[in-house]
Amino acid sequence: MAGRVEGKVALVTGGASGLGKAAAAMLAREGARVAITDRNEPGAKEVAGALGEAARAWKLDVTQEADWERVVDEVVATFGRLDVVVNNAGIGVAKDVESLSLEEWRLVHAVNLDGVFLGCKHGIRGMRKCGAKGSIINVSSVAGLVGSENLAAYCSSKGGVRLLTKSVALHCARKGYGIRCNSLHPTFIDTPMVEGFAGMKGDVAEGKARLARMIPLGHIGEPDDIAYAVLYLASDESKLMTGSELVVDGGTTAM
């Protein structure tokens, strides 16, 4: 039985760990060939090595357009096509608007929003180059839907991802490209980023328990909870979805 993304080629940013690593593994398991990209090149190579012949690793700083141009061209040359781009790379700074520096504000937006813009721009270019009817998946956050008092830059950047996604979706639809673009909105997931956030006040386990109490279902998510959502959006099962928000948040935004 063929996998759900059999024959597709996917590029995943931030693929060396966390959500990107889980998404890459899920896509490879379901039949895709995967370009795993990250600033952490050794980490990306380790993930690719574990996935075998279905995966290759590239060093990519998502804030640098020259990197995007090079990597997209090399991925298409290596695999012959590009069908899926998962704009997953992101960072967070847990500070409110008064304590946040301008440099921190700019850094968070450079990675979380500029990086997604460049991924959409060059993802479309790569897909059109090979005639693919593709899917762009932009990883936003519940913090792109509701505010948090101590995540000023993160909320702003992830909210920007949400509306950029809609603009890209409408652009591609009006042009008749056959390329879809949707945003994905996770709650707290058990990743290195969330572990760092949980440990800011001391004990990591207690921090995770505190975060879990903020989620109506009562527990933080696992990386595969988001990887399955990525798989759905990457597959043809979601062919009528574009410009939409897929929320995986344990009920957080229902409150």
Residues 127-163: tens digit of each pLDDT: 999 999 999 999 999 999 999 999 999 999 999 999 9
Mean pLDDT calculated for residue range 211-236: 96
Percentage of the residues of the chain whose pLDDT score is greater than 70: 99
Helix, strand or coil, per DSSP, at residue 251: coil
Does some domain include residue 2? Answer: no
**Residue type at 67 in one-letter notation:** D
Residue 58 belongs to domain with CATH number: 3.40.50.720
Does some domain include residue 154? Answer: yes
Domain that holds residue 89: 9-186+221-247
Does some domain include residue 37? Answer: yes
Instruction: Specify whether 232 is catalytic.
Output: no
The Cα–Cα gap between 246 and 65 comes to 27
Does some domain include residue 211? Answer: no
| Structural domains in the chain (count) | 1
Mean pLDDT calculated for residue range 93-112: 97
Q: How far from the centroid of its chain's Cα atoms is residue 151's Cα?
A: 19
- The pLDDT score that the predictor gives to residue 196 is 74
Does some domain include residue 130? Answer: yes
- Tell whether the model's pLDDT for residue 46 goes beyond 70: yes
Does some domain include residue 196? Answer: no
The answer to whether the beta carbons of residues 189 and 226 sit under 8 Å apart is yes
Torsion angles phi and psi, residue 175, rounded to 5: -80, -10
Q: Which of 30, 59, 21 is nearest to 9 (CA)?
A: 30
The Cα–Cα gap between 252 and 56 comes to 36
Does some domain include residue 206? Answer: no
What is the overall mean pLDDT for the chain? 96
The Cα–Cα gap between 84 and 192 comes to 25
- The pLDDT score that the predictor gives to residue 207 is 87
Per-residue pLDDT of 173-192, as tens digits, reads: 999 999 999 999 999 999 88
Does some domain include residue 110? Answer: yes
- Tell whether the model's pLDDT for residue 32 goes beyond 80: yes
